[in-house]
C-alpha cells in the first residue's frame, strides 16, 4: 500500500506558467485522510514552498533546496550545508565563467549580488525571502548555506554543467532547470532527503511514489519503489522511468487520483 508521495514542482506538478493547480489541495487532504504523507520536493526555498502550500502546510513534509533541507510542521528534520571554504572557492570559480550568476541559498533566506535581468527577476519570483547584498562573501559564516543556485544566460546543459563540475570536484553540481544549476555538498540531493523521511516515518521503499522531470530528481526517483516522469521530462529520464501525461496536462494529478482510488478499494476490501 502507498504511504508516501513526493513530487517535483517546476516542470512536473506546476503548469508551464508556474501555477500550482488548485486541485492539489483537496488531493493532499484526501491523502492525509488515508494516511498518505505528501511531500513537495523542489529546488525552491522552504519559505516559498510553505507559502505555496499554505492551506495544507500542516499536512505535508517539505523537501526544499533540492533535498538540502527537510522541514515538517516547522521542525528541521535534515539540513546539508556547504562548508565555508568550499563556498568561497565555488564563488570564485563561478564568477570566472562568463554568463553565470550565483546566489547563496540559506536556511532562511537567499542572497544575490547581481541585478542583471532576467536573473534578478527570476530569483525574486522564486525565492520568497531574497535579499540583494554587495558581495556574497559577506553572508558566509552568518547563516548555514544549503546550496549555490547558478543562473546560466546560455543554457545549463550547454554551459554550466560542461564547465563547473571539473572546477568543483569536492562539490555536487547538477542541472536543476533549463537555465539553472545547483552546487551543493556531495551528499545533498532529493534522494538523501527521501531516506531521511523514510527513516523518520518508518516507510518502506515500496510504499513510496515519486514524480520528477529533471536530473536533480533522479536520486529521488530511484529511492522510491514507484516512480514516474511527465512526457515533457528530460529525455534520458524517459528512457528509465514510466512516462505519464505532461505537466500541462496534469499528469501528476491524474496519477495521484488513481493511487487514491486504489487506496479506497484496498480499504473496502
Domains plus CATH for the chain?
4-79+188-268 (3.40.50.1000), 84-184 (3.30.1240.10)
The Cα–Cα gap between 60 and 197 comes to 11
Q: Which set of grid coordinates corresponds to residue 267?
A: 480499504
Q: What is the pLDDT of residue 269?
A: 33
Q: What is the pLDDT of residue 175?
A: 86
Q: What is the pLDDT of residue 178?
A: 86
Say if CB 100 and CB 150 are below 8 A apart. yes
| Strand ranges (E), 17-134 | 37-40, 61-64, 69-72, 75-79, 100-106, 110-112, 130-132
DSSP of 175-193: EEETTEEEEE-TT-SHHHH
* Nearest in space to 64 (alpha carbons), one of 121, 142, 6: 6
Say if CB 102 and CB 133 are below 8 A apart. no
Q: Tens of pLDDT along the chain (269 residues)?
A: 999 999 999 999 999 999 999 999 999 999 999 999 999 999 899 999 999 999 999 999 999 999 999 999 999 999 999 999 999 999 999 999 999 999 999 999 999 999 999 999 989 888 899 999 999 999 999 999 999 999 999 999 999 999 999 999 999 998 888 899 999 999 999 999 999 999 999 999 999 999 999 988 999 999 999 999 999 999 999 999 999 999 999 999 999 999 999 876 445 43
Say if CB 145 and CB 79 are below 8 A apart. no
Q: What is the pLDDT of residue 264?
A: 66
For the chain, counts of helices (H) and of strands (E)? 9, 14
Amino acid at each position: 500500500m502507498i504511504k508516501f508521495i513526493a513530487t517535483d514542482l517546476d516542470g512536473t506538478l506546476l503548469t508551464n506558467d508556474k501555477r500550482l493547480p488548485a486541485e492539489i489541495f483537496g488531493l493532499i487532504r484526501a491523502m492525509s485522510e488515508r494516511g498518505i504523507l505528501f511531500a513537495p520536493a523542489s529546488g525552491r526555498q522552504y519559505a516559498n514552498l510553505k507559502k505555496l502550500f499554505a492551506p495544507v502546510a500542516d499536512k505535508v513534509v517539505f523537501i526544499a533546496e533540492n533535498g538540502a533541507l527537510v522541514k515538517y510542521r516547522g521542525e528541521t528534520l535534515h539540513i546539508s550545508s556547504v562548508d565555508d571554504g568550499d563556498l568561497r572557492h565555488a564563488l570564485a570559480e563561478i564568477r570566472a565563467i562568463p554568463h553565470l550568476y550565483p546566489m547563496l541559498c540559506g536556511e532562511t533566506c537567499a542572497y544575490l549580488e547581481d541585478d542583471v535581468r532576467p536573473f534578478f527577476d527570476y530569483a525574486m519570483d522564486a525565492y520568497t525571502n531574497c535579499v540583494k547584498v554587495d558581495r556574497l562573501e559577506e553572508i558566509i559564516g552568518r547563516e548555514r548555506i544549503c546550496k549555490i543556485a547558478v543562473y546560466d544566460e546560455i543554457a545549463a546543459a550547454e554551459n554550466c554543467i560542461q564547465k563547473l563540475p571539473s572546477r568543483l570536484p569536492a562539490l555536487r553540481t547538477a542541472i536543476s532547470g533549463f537555465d539553472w544549476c545547483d552546487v551543493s555538498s556531495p551528499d545533498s540531493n532529493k534522494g538523501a532527503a527521501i531516506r531521511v523521511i523514510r527513516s523518520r516515518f518508518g516507510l518502506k521503499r515500496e510504499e513510496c511514489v515519486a514524480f520528477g522531470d529533471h536530473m536533480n530528481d533522479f536520486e529521488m526517483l530511484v529511492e522510491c519503489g514507484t516512480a514516474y516522469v511527465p512526457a515533457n521530462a528530460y529525455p534520458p529520464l524517459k528512457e528509465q522511468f514510466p512516462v505519464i501525461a505532461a505537466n500541462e496536462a496534469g499528469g501528476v494529478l491524474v496519477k495521484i487520483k488513481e493511487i487514491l482510488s486504489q487506496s479506497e478499494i484496498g480499504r473496502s476490501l
